Structure 1
């Protein structure tokens, strides 16, 4: 019998404090489709689909394997499923980690190092930075989704220094003056703008805990005493973040510097190396290079590496809308989200009842998640039984070089996300 090229996976959940509770979580809902029980009081934050050793996916429901075969073991024993080149380059692992995130409260203000910085941090502080890799990532909204992403346009930051005097007091009058005057100077170049932006961010992030706590209390008390009808979107966000991380977390002030990005289902953002961000709420599909390297500096009780974060950032700035990706058509009913990195891309396929879609052969390995609906999957190149059931929450590994036929059933539509390395 020929080696199969499609395998259904059982994937593991991760429970972090910021995750949605019980059945409110897409993570828990998807995991339950493979028989996992759901605890209504437990936060279900992430579903991991891949070969990462912290939560490796297991092959299920295939006569060629037993239920305890890990996806990594499958690939190691059958390198052609990944291609020999990808297998060798990534030591039998997939080049990417595919996830579902369900977010109840804000994640930390953070950035991910590039490969050069990642290697240095791993060498210097291996107890904190566990590998030498970079960690670019992409988030595609499953439900309405909020994030902080990249620095705001500089004129918006100027407006916030004026609107929120506590912000200006925190960074100091001289840095506030330098920033506002540089931004107002039409002859100022981008290097000068980035320099004063870095000064502003550095001053904020290195402020004393006493000053942060005192000024946040002043700010939130002032906003709380205003009529609700007078609070704008940013006012409400500041109050919400302070409630989620009480006691004076400098990350709350970051909302005045970083873009507040709101995404509808199907919209996406790409988070490249050395760019500040924080997920705030909602459910998303996330794909990332396989790494655990995170440099945190706010909205977290975990270790904050402020000096490294301040020095590593690019200090690029732009609008919230400019942070969103522009997908391109793929096939007749799919969209391709193709970030400027080599480790992964993601295809989103949406079908109405009885519709079909073809995915041509992809050179490398892929993982497919059914996010909604039901249908059938057929791998054209297979010489074995090749019809696979598609149901909400089902996850499949697709071997390299396998063209797919996808069919939505007669009553429901179908929504699929497929991460791959070409």
Structure 2
């Protein structure tokens, strides 16, 4: 079964505008929107089954999720998101257990009871904050950007030197300091944010960290998220590189284009750089305060040279890079699972049994599951091609991963 899909574009303010947006251009080229407006942001090209942006089967205009209800032999496909971003909110996502608690307590702000692990794969140079820095480095920055200490008690100031030490648990010290800052009343917080940012703005020679703080301040003046680079790793992904965002890992996308795949959830606990709801109490209690050293994700390389992203401990989704030069032909592995194929560049014809679909830039294809090697979908590439395929791995595939021996059917 091969079905072309019509997908959703989200116009959040952090998206790039008009023709500058890769998400918008893909949506336009694929026929998902009629035109691009110059001054309108196109933040996400959203592919999947979530109620906030359901893909629809073009053939009969039925929501993909409803199609699964009519055809129960098909597994639900994971949603796949292509984003073009200016700074997003500082945020974390809950575990499954935490998601159930949050949804029961506050269904308005936590609309489902699932977790939301994510993987982001860079398409252009992609800047982000993710995971806490080495605690000893945070200690240095709290002294360098000393204005922030005005938000701390004398006892908390005295514990700054314990960050990265073997005395009191370094993570517990960081939790006390971080919690105090993020719980500060808004008016006092704005005063200190402004004081720090304006001092940096007046400096002639700015460090890379100075520049990030000033950049965030120009976007969100007075916001506690301006302090985030002092605490979180700042790094860049080059095209093809990826990061996996585990539950309770603080992160924020800053600039660039990426493919993002996640569990079917919309649960986000925000910590700053946003006009949306910020749940400080849930945030400070659930955060993972341990050090994270540049959490880049290393994918598996398949025999055909393409990459397979298989985050450990996650059974909802894998992502495969599908690419090749004009004239190449190959079969999709792991075909016992349904998948969604999103075309970024080029042209190819996908064949499955007696069905075939020719795909161009921006088009999205649902590929049904098969049950034998002879039925595997074939991709005939007629123009240099790049696509990403999201699917729920089968139990056999998950077992092969746990045995560290990826099997390609």
TM-score by length of 1: 0.88
Matched, 1:419 2:401: no
How many Å apart are 1:224 and its aligned residue?
1.3
Q: Which residue of 2 aligns with 1:363?
A: 336
How many Å apart are 1:81 and its aligned residue?
2.9
Helix, strand or coil for the counterpart of 2:79?
Answer: strand
Structure 2: segments with no counterpart, 5+ residues: 394-409
Q: 1:71 aligns with which of 51, 64, 70?
A: 64
Q: Which residue of 2 aligns with 1:217?
A: 194
Q: 2 CA distance for matches of 1:297 and 1:314? A: 13
Deviation digits for residues 42-75 of structure 1, max 9, x if unmatched? 1111111111222211222xxxx42x12222322
How many Å apart are 1:352 and its aligned residue?
2.4
Q: 1 CA distance for matches of 2:47 and 2:218? A: 32
Deviation digits for residues 379-417 of structure 1, max 9, x if unmatched? 2xx1x232x2231111111111262222332xx421110
Q: 2:208 aligns with which of 227, 233, 258?
A: 233
Structure 1: segments with no counterpart, 5+ residues: 83-92
Check 1:176–1:165 CA distance in 2 against 1; reply closer, same or farther (3 A cut): same
Helix, strand or coil for the counterpart of 1:256?
Answer: helix
Q: 1 CA distance for matches of 2:334 and 2:119? A: 23
How many Å apart are 1:300 and its aligned residue?
0.9
Check 1:7–1:164 CA distance in 2 against 1; reply closer, same or farther (3 A cut): same
Helix, strand or coil for the counterpart of 1:255?
Answer: helix
Q: 2 CA distance for matches of 1:156 and 1:182? A: 8
Aligned residues between the structures: 386
TM-score by length of 2: 0.90
CA contact (8 A) 1:333 1:357 kept: no
Matched, 1:98 2:73: no
Q: 2 CA distance for matches of 1:188 and 1:347? A: 45
Q: 1:385 aligns with which of 345, 349, 355?
A: 355
Deviation digits for residues 224-255 of structure 1, max 9, x if unmatched? 1111xx21111100000001012x10111011
Helix, strand or coil for the counterpart of 1:107?
Answer: coil
Q: 1 CA distance for matches of 2:57 and 2:107? A: 32
CA contact (8 A) 1:252 1:299 kept: yes
User: In angstroms, what is the RMSD of aligned CA positions?
Assistant: 1.6
Q: 1:335 aligns with which of 304, 307, 317?
A: 307
